[in-house]
Homo-oligomer: A and B are copies of this chain.
Amino acid sequence: MTDQIAFLGTGLMGSRMATRLLSAGYRLRVWNRSIEKAAPLAAKGASVAATPVEACRDVALTVMMLADAPAVRSVLFEQGAAGSLARGGLVIDMSSNAPPDAREHARRLAARGVAHLDAPVSGGPGGAEEGTLAIMVGGRDADFERAAPILRHLGRPTLVGPAGTGQLAKLCNQTIVALTIGAVAEALLLAKAGGADPAKVREAVAGGYADSPIMRVHGKRMVDRAFAPGGPSRLQLKDLRNILDSADAAGLRLPLASRVTELYESLVANGDGDLDHSALFLELERMNR
């Protein structure tokens, strides 16, 4: 078994995370679907693998940062990375998926004697670069202890429960993000409609109970009407559908999450799915025209 770590997926987030691990002294084998995105990491000391199988051969530890569940399944089970992992190895999947996907991946890996943690993140490319990501982890205690020293180079890992609950926590995070965007949008529309200056209202409430990173970042986007993404609305809608699916599976009604999902459905149906998720403001403007 090699002491190298396999790192699969070196896009916007993954390249920054891999760079932090290299700086911390870890030896990395990196792979990316389009190899040119992995190449800059070679200059920083990584070895670049041509396939996931090659990257994972005999490694004890694999970190994944891929686009979605189909990409994870393709890499692990269709392209066959799972088969080349060492028995007793650990896969840390930091991609954002639905909780049932994470549970399925954990089950299929366990059948081959490989452990799995779901460990999605919040904090964006800035947080990835600074190593300040919120890392929400689902899985077993012993596996978390094994992963934590590595994850601490990337941010603040918290074990929230068994397999799949890391992804569930990410969905909880996204529930709050979507609804806070909606709250800020309605507040700024009310300010304008009532004759106040929305930019001044945003400044005035700063530091109080209505303050939040969403108010600071996405509230500013609304005031400036600057809706280039950022996080596109169609991905926010994907998250919201996963949120309502998870709630349904648990027999849970979430009236506010349901309402904001309808609003994002309209926003995307009206052709604004590629705009930043703060563009919910535009949908609320539209329905008030």
Partner of A194, one of B165, B189, B215: B165
**Does A282 lie at the interface of the complex (its beta carbon under 8 Å from any beta carbon of B)?**
no
- Whether A158 touches B204, Cβ cut-off 8 Å, given contacts A211-B212, A256-B260, is yes
This chain's copy number in the assembly = 2
Per a CB cutoff under 8 Å, which of B204, B210, B260 touches A160? B204
Stretch touching chain B among A3-11, A15-23, A68-76, A247-255: A247-255
Q: CB-CB < 8 A to A210: which residues of B?
A: 122, 172-174, 176-177, 180
Q: In the bound complex, do residue A201 and residue B252 qualify as a contact, i.e. CB atoms below 8 Å apart? A: no
Chain A interface, DSSP helix/strand/loop, else mixed: helix
Choose from B196, B209, B243, B252 the contact partner of A168 (Cβ within 8 Å). Answer: B196
Contacts of A173 in B (CB 8 A): 187, 205, 208-210
Tell me if B156 and A207 are in contact (CB < 8 A). Answer: yes
Q: Answer whether residue A47 sits at the interface, using C-beta atoms and an 8 A cutoff.
A: no
The answer to whether A191 touches B212 (Cβ under 8 A) is no
Instruction: Give every chain B residue within 8 A of A209 (Cβ-Cβ).
Output: 122-124, 173, 177, 213-214, 217
Q: CB within 8 A of A252: which of B189, B195, B196, B246?
A: B189
